[in-house]
Amino acid sequence: MSLPVITVEQMRRWEAASWKAGVSKTEVIAQVGSIVSKRALELTQLNDKILLIAGKGHNGDDVRAMINNLPNRDVTLIEVIDPETSLEKLLINLSAKPQLVIDGLFGIGINRVLDKDWINFISEINAQQLRVLSVDIPSGIDATTGEVQGAAIRANETLTLGAPKIGLLNSASTDYVGRLRVAPKIGLVKLNETSNLQLNEAEDFSNFPPPRSVNGHKGTFGHVGIVGGSLGYHGAAVLAARAASRSQPGLVTLMTPEEVFVPVASQLQSVMVHPLTQKNIEFKLATALLIGPGMAAKGLNKDIKEKTNQIWHDSPMPILVDASALDWIPTGKITSKSIRVITPHPGEAARLLDCTSADIQADRVKALQDLSAKFGDCWVVLKGRHTLVGQSKGKVFVNPTGNSSLGQGGSGDLLAGYLGGLLAQPLLQENVVKTLSYGIWQHGAAADKLNDSKLNWTIEDLSQQIGGTKP
């Protein structure tokens, strides 16, 4: 089940309700210590050095509780009350190059700029470029705003406790959080706080997609049409078609301008490829249509753009629009009640809303809602470090997977193609937000798996991996 993204105030109320109900703080701390220790063992090997850095607050207590839960590891604990007096011990232990540093200096209560001694202390940790696991939140990050309070630990991974805090998903904290994991069961009472922002978990997709009918055939599982490619950008159409095939619709048909037909068709085996004309762009045999990957060349037929506008407005089938085609769709109410999806990155979102990318990143949820409202309450997949899915009203879902290696040309084309292939399947059209969330999760999970197994990888590697991760 997706987890509500909560504020510091909500976390405090949750803790207070737990203490009032008789939950023992000591037992919660012990449980957290055990949970973090388990992750530390997963990240290290026999006899590896682990450096525990504990502040004077409850975050420090969580780290101190780890000390007896790390068998067969060389463990050192530094208790930091005063950063100036603890600095020498820190430097000695950092020079030993521990395989893992556990950050428990500050918790979610910090909301002021740190003094110079703390800034210096944190800077020395960051300077070593060691693997760091932060407990609950990277020390120095404001858990409400995500802002850095003078300095902050640059974690490779953050294991947040109970529920994700809203500041961890703010663009300001992105470079410090690393891979975000959640430990939801830490011994507190059931969470009664609500939030319109929800973080998806792998478990949300454990029984998804639903089982296919044993009597199913290619006609049962949908037919995705893709309109894409142009001179200089034909590779995007190829990638989108390959990713669509990975989502396993019954059929994939790609329509591409005649000038790139040969190089596109020669790279695809299981995909039907046709020259694009104004007449076949709508492709009425399809059960979903993706428009846009690789259609960035100058001089594209004006009729194609006008037809896209009309299809968006009137077509009864699900329509997903990506890349350059985002500029071709009309604003306002949509005549058809069918599914409509747009997949902008922050730059495209800024262009559509006539603002800057910084404006988009400053409040990504509002940007998503504004985009949805502008284009007829469509579904919006706002790409980024934590890709969002939602509409103008209701819950917005946050994707937890993915990493910076996705910042390669073609990554968005793969995502669009994979989502288009999913939306073409009639059974998956019944729950649009789950289908979109699943596709985004798979895209990011593929990148995470590649990062864990390869020093370097390419978009071609991603095209072979997408859809292959079991939640």
pLDDT value of position 298: 86
Q: CB 471: neighbour CB atoms within 10 A?
A: 15
Domains and CATH numbers, the chain: 3-19+26-194 (3.40.50.10260), 223-465 (3.40.1190.20)
pLDDT value of position 302: 82
pLDDT value of position 7: 96
**What contacts 403, CB < 8 A, 6 or more positions away?**
179, 444, 447, 448, 451
pLDDT value of position 111: 86
Per-residue pLDDT of the chain in tens (471 residues, 90 and over written 9): 799 999 999 999 999 999 999 999 999 999 999 999 999 999 999 999 999 999 999 999 999 999 999 999 999 999 999 999 999 999 999 999 999 999 999 999 998 999 999 999 999 999 999 999 999 999 999 999 999 999 999 999 999 999 999 999 999 999 999 999 999 999 999 999 999 999 999 999 999 999 998 998 998 999 999 999 999 999 999 999 999 999 999 999 999 999 999 999 999 999 999 999 877 777 888 999 999 999 999 888 788 899 999 999 999 999 999 999 999 999 999 888 899 999 999 999 999 999 999 999 999 999 999 999 999 999 999 999 999 999 999 999 999 999 999 999 999 999 999 999 999 999 999 999 999 999 999 999 999 999 999 989 999 999 999 999 999
pLDDT value of position 335: 83
pLDDT value of position 282: 76
Rounded distance, CA 120 to CA 314, Å?
60
| CA dihedral angle for residue 312, residue 313, residue 314, residue 319, rounded to 10 degrees | 20
Structure-token pair, residue 130: 């060691």
Rounded distance, CA 38 to CA 36, Å?
5
Buried (b) or exposed (e) across 336-354, using 16+ Cβ within 10 A? beebbbbbbbbebbbebbe
